[in-house]
Amino acid sequence: ADPSEHCSHMIGNGHLKVLQQLIDSQMETSCQIAFEFVDQEQLDDPVCYLKKAFFLVQDIIDETMRFKDNTPNANATERLQELSNNLNSCFTKDYEEQNKACVRTFHETPLQLLEKIKNFFNETKNLLEKDWNIFTKNCNNSFAKCSSHHHHHHH
């Protein structure tokens, strides 16, 4: 389906509040988890950055964010899952082979991961409110410039 103007108000303040509650309820720990996210050093175009991040965010919400069933945090995660499924129609897919380009493995605390997710939804919300069609931009050229090979880790 093509994006619709509906995209411009899909992400509500309620969603950002839900994310903030998830963040606030985390245990402060130095334990790190590994997850894949966009390497901002390689991808400086903000639209393409979010476009690439979207599919990674979906994976993180589906796979990495695990909470005990029927708890507030599990319910919050479910709301975010619904939101990201709805957002699917606002992002066009680019050339598949560049799936892993511009992506690297991060090792961060759950808190840092959730901050990334929150920033993603925040920035996406701002861009969609300005232009609901913005994520139809073709990012193949930007993605092609990334090397899928250089994994320099910053800890």
The pLDDT of residue 19 is 95
- pLDDT at residue 151 is higher than 60: no
Q: Report the mean per-residue pLDDT for the chain.
A: 90
Three-class secondary structure of residue 105 per DSSP = strand
Neighbour count for residue 97 (Cβ, 10 Å): 11
* CATH code assigned to 16-23+32-145: 1.20.1250.10
Please, which pLDDT band fits residue 95 given cuts at 50, 70 and 90? Answer: confident
Band (pLDDT 50/70/90 cuts) for residue 104 is very high
Domain ranges, ordered by start, for the chain: 16-23+32-145
pTM for this model (two decimals) = 0.89
Question: Looking at the predicted structure, is the pLDDT value of residue 96 above 90?
Answer: no
H helix runs in the chain, sequence order: 13-24, 46-59, 72-87, 110-130, 140-145
Task: Give pLDDT, residue 1.
Answer: 61
